[in-house]
Amino acid sequence: MRAVLAGLLILLLGASAQAERLIVSVSNHRVTVTPNYSGEELVLFGSVEKDAATPADRSAYDLVVTVMGPRADMVTRRKEREFGIWINTDYRQFLQVPSYLALFANRPFDVITSPEIARRQQIGLNNVLLTQRVGGDYADVVPNDAFRSAFIRLRTQRGLYREDASAVTFLTPTLFRTGIPLPAEVPIGTYEVEIKLFANGALVGKTETAFEIVKVGFEQFVATTARQNGLVYGLVTAAMALMTGWMASIVFKKD
């Protein structure tokens, strides 16, 4: 029985021929955001399972966790002074970029691995692929591009993009945990979590998990109706305005 379960687990986790297996779980696979939700922290925990193929001398691991929210197109605009006033002049379109993006590690990214691998594995906000429409082309640009860095800075200010190289803690050499902060304005949808295991600068293991953010309550109902049934929503709002005005004229009727 135990063998069957173990076999299932291996299948489920998609364990390959790699020497280490990562077993992870998040504290909650379905986060419900209520009207008075003020942000919460999800906990991701897991362990590194060694097997016979693991080199005996390997003991110190590094871990990089990437959390990506639902993807969306976004436009970044830049203001410039023209005719004495500040107006939007130039803009760039970012295509299908994550609406939420968090990168966590147990120590600085540049210590964990080489710049080359970091770029290939998209480790760090500077290395994450953010596709822009450049003329008729689709490409990412250099990390210090004005629009790209402004985009990351603004998302970071809102708590929607973050990078924390000390968020992952190893409780034992193989047992780890990290918090995933979700601010009040997290976009709803499916969040992908990618966990990458490094040893001596090399990627030795990888696994994925996911969680979902759903908004419930009156506010969400209002927001959904506004988007999907604009006409009904408009009629109800107009009726509400008339009702309020009429009530006021009765309540405050003079004489």
44 contacts 167 by C-beta, under 8 angstroms: no
| Distance set, CA 90 to CA 76, 81, 99, 147, 155 (Å) | 9, 12, 22, 10, 19
DSSP 45-79: EEEEEE-TTS-TT----EEEEEEE--EEEEEEEEE
User: What's at 73, amino acid-wise?
Assistant: D
Binding site for another protein (CB under 8 A): 35-39, 70-81, 84-88, 91, 96, 99, 147, 150-151, 153-155, 157-159, 183-185, 187-190, 219-220, 222-223, 226-227, 230-231, 233-238, 240-242, 244-249, 252
CB of 104 vs another protein, minimal distance in Å: 21
CB of 181 vs another protein, minimal distance in Å: 12
**Nearest CA to 29 among 154, 220, 213?**
213
Secondary structure element (H or E) that encloses residue 232, with its range: helix 230-251
CB of 150 vs another protein, minimal distance in Å: 4
Main-chain phi, psi angles of 143, to 5 degrees: -60, -30
Distance from C-alpha of 199 to C-alpha of 229, rounded to nearest angstrom: 53
CB-wise, 18 or 220, nearer to another protein?
A: 220
Strands (E) located in 154-201? 161-164, 169-170, 175-182, 189-199
CB-wise, 11 or 231, nearer to another protein?
A: 231
CB of 169 vs another protein, minimal distance in Å: 26
CB of 240 vs another protein, minimal distance in Å: 6
CB-wise, 78 or 107, nearer to another protein?
A: 78
CB-wise, 121 or 126, nearer to another protein?
A: 126
CB of 58 vs another protein, minimal distance in Å: 39
CB-wise, 29 or 158, nearer to another protein?
A: 158
* Secondary structure class of 33 (helix, strand, coil): strand
CB-wise, 49 or 212, nearer to another protein?
A: 212
CB-wise, 35 or 55, nearer to another protein?
A: 35
Residue 86 CB contacts under 8 Å (≥ 6 apart), including other chains: 79, 80
Distance from C-alpha of 167 to C-alpha of 176, rounded to nearest angstrom: 10
Measured over the CA atoms of residue 246, residue 250, residue 251 and residue 254, the dihedral's sign is: positive
CB of 225 vs another protein, minimal distance in Å: 9
